[in-house]
Structure 1
Amino acid sequence: MLARQRQAVILEEARRTGAVRVSDLVGRLGVSDMTVRRDLDVLASRGLVEKVYGGATSVVGKSTDEPGFEAKSVRQRVQKEAIAAVAAGLVRPGTAIGLSAGTTTWALARALDAVPGLTIVTNSIQVADVLRGSNQPDRTVVLTGGVRTPSDALVGPVAVNSLRTLHLDLVFLGVHGMADGPGFTTPNLTESETNRALVEAGRRLVVLADHTKWGTVGISTIADFEEAHVVVTDDGLPTHAREALSEHIGELMIATVPGDGE
């Protein structure tokens, strides 16, 4: 098991039970005490667990917690770039697509630079900034209006009304969390409404979510698992999460993250 896969298992167990012990994890994962402690150090450095004597406790944020764009942009950057590369392969020249706000869709915007003839609709200031610098002269970028959130999304009635007039081939949705039951969620009620309008504007929905999003639940559901035609995630997602997603969605695509060891 790779380090990111172990860490995903540890994080899931910490969130499920509230705390994990090093001794239990050594037996469950079949690795050394030192390896488990290194994994806990990594998770603690990301603010996902809090180390305590003999193990770690879960750090569970409120369902309305919403980190800013800059804070989120440094988390799981390699995983997000790998996900974006896979997602870019789903985009065909000359199509109309939608990109929600988020740091993974921001990575996708950069990965789309080589695709010609696109019409791209987004409610993200950060995504629009990337697209504005494209080398494609035949590209059309539509930025919805709206009220700005901490994640630099434009939301509210203006954005919703704009999106309800559009018909897109493909919509890429970044999410705050995904869990069996609540589905794909966000901590921002107004952003949820805007994202639902974006989802409804597309013929196909592709959700982009790195493995740390599993088990996280925001206050509002954007879409149920069954609404996603494709979910693109990274290979740190644990087996039970892959099985849960595969039962409901059309296709699960796993991006391989290079250069991960113990």
Structure 2
Amino acid sequence: MLAGHRRQEIAALVRRRGSVRVADLVERFGVSDMTVRRDLEVLAEQAVLLKVHGGATAIGAPVTDEPGFEAKSLVQRAEKEAIAARAAALVAPGTAVAVSAGTTTWALARELLEIPRLTVVTNSLRVGEMFHRRKRADQEVVLTGGVPTPSDALVGPVAVAAIGSLNVDLLLLGVHGMSTHAGFTTPNLLEAETNRALAATARRLVVLADHTKWGVIGVGTIAALEDADVLVTDQGLGEAERALLAERVGDLVIAPSP
């Protein structure tokens, strides 16, 4: 295959998947590691993609870009469900947990419905609605109040004030992006503030983030990578990224393939 044709295919893969790994491209095209890295360098110089350690990602959206809940719920659904099931295994009956807004934590809420004697604090309209519909007698749900965002998170001073009077055993946090220098981030500054308040109430922080969140940066930082006691992700995360995260977070958990 000519270099130009191969680079066109790499660019199409990045647009379709959001990211690619060098090792996968080597196997796919039957060329050397050095050839693939040279292709990525050329495409990065042409602003077609962003070259990262071990591969490349699509050119990022602006740090303030905030897709709506419905749009986000359509992507990586199988991975999010696998992450949710694995994260739910960390929740013991009879504990108090906080659940942030997001599509991965929304998938998690379905798993939490099966755990007895939970107290659930959430700033997610979707999560609150799910628990309200089921109305288990042995579960208590606290909805923070606040102003809704495009991702159906309740944020702002009302939410922060309510959260400040509470204490929970565990925060199960969904994020927009994660990176080495920015940590766990969101494109909404008020949501970042509200999530920081949730983190301050919790004894332990569990972050739920599928592999496409790697290298994505939002304008507001919620926490550093080192603040996560557990990070639950999926098998799409590359080996290099796994090694890097394993050194930074308390415990890196890879959910089994869906």
Q: TM-score range by the shorter chain?
A: 0.7 to 0.9
Separation in structure 2 between the aligned mates of residue 156 and residue 111 of structure 1, nearest angstrom = 28
Separation in structure 2 between the aligned mates of residue 94 and residue 174 of structure 1, nearest angstrom = 22
Q: Would you say the 8 A contact 1:188–1:219 is kept in 2? A: yes
User: Counterpart of 2:28?
Assistant: 31
- State the shift of 1:239 in Å: 1.0
- Which AA in structure 2 matches 1:178? M
User: Counterpart of 1:245?
Assistant: 245
Gaps of 5+ in 1: 1-5, 15-24, 34-48, 51-55
- Which AA in structure 1 matches 2:84? A
User: Counterpart of 1:192?
Assistant: 192
Separation in structure 1 between the aligned mates of residue 26 and residue 133 of structure 2, nearest angstrom = 46
1:47-86 equivalence runs, <5 A:
58-86=58-86
User: Counterpart of 2:128?
Assistant: 128
- Which AA in structure 2 matches 1:202? A
User: Counterpart of 1:153?
Assistant: 153
User: Counterpart of 1:38?
Assistant: none
Give TM-score, length-normalised by structure 2. Answer: 0.81
Gaps of 5+ in 2: 1-12, 31-47, 50-55
SS at match of 1:101: coil
SS at match of 1:178: strand
Separation in structure 2 between the aligned mates of residue 216 and residue 248 of structure 1, nearest angstrom = 17
- Which AA in structure 2 matches 1:237? L
Separation in structure 1 between the aligned mates of residue 158 and residue 135 of structure 2, nearest angstrom = 29
1:1-262 equivalence runs, <5 A:
11-12=18-19, 28-32=25-29, 58-134=58-134, 136-258=136-258
Which structure would you say has the larger RCO, counting Cα contacts within 8 Å and 6 or more residues apart?
Answer: 1
- Which AA in structure 2 matches 1:29? V
Separation in structure 2 between the aligned mates of residue 85 and residue 135 of structure 1, nearest angstrom = 21
- Which AA in structure 2 matches 1:236? G
Q: Would you say the 8 A contact 1:82–1:234 is kept in 2? A: yes
- State the shift of 1:233 in Å: 0.2
Cα–Cα, structure 1 residues 27 and 200, in superposed 2: closer, same or farther, change >3 Å? closer
Separation in structure 2 between the aligned mates of residue 228 and residue 26 of structure 1, nearest angstrom = 28
- State the shift of 1:81 in Å: 0.2
Give TM-score, length-normalised by structure 1. Answer: 0.79
Q: Would you say the 8 A contact 2:101–2:123 is kept in 1? A: yes
Q: Would you say the 8 A contact 1:12–1:215 is kept in 2? A: no
SS at match of 1:216: coil
Equivalent pairs, count: 222
Cα–Cα, structure 1 residues 162 and 236, in superposed 2: closer, same or farther, change >3 Å? same
- State the shift of 1:243 in Å: 1.2
1:132-151 deviations in Å (ceiling 9; x for gaps)? 12363110000011111000
SS at match of 2:134: coil
- Which AA in structure 1 matches 2:196? R
1:24-69 deviations in Å (ceiling 9; x for gaps)? x699421248xxxxxxxxxxxxxxx89xxxxx99342000000000
Cα–Cα, structure 1 residues 212 and 162, in superposed 2: closer, same or farther, change >3 Å? same
Could you tell me the percent identity over the aligned residues? 56
1:197-218 deviations in Å (ceiling 9; x for gaps)? 0001000000000000000000
Q: Would you say the 8 A contact 2:155–2:190 is kept in 1? A: yes
Alpha carbon RMSD of aligned pairs, Å?
2.4
Separation in structure 1 between the aligned mates of residue 24 and residue 225 of structure 2, nearest angstrom = 33
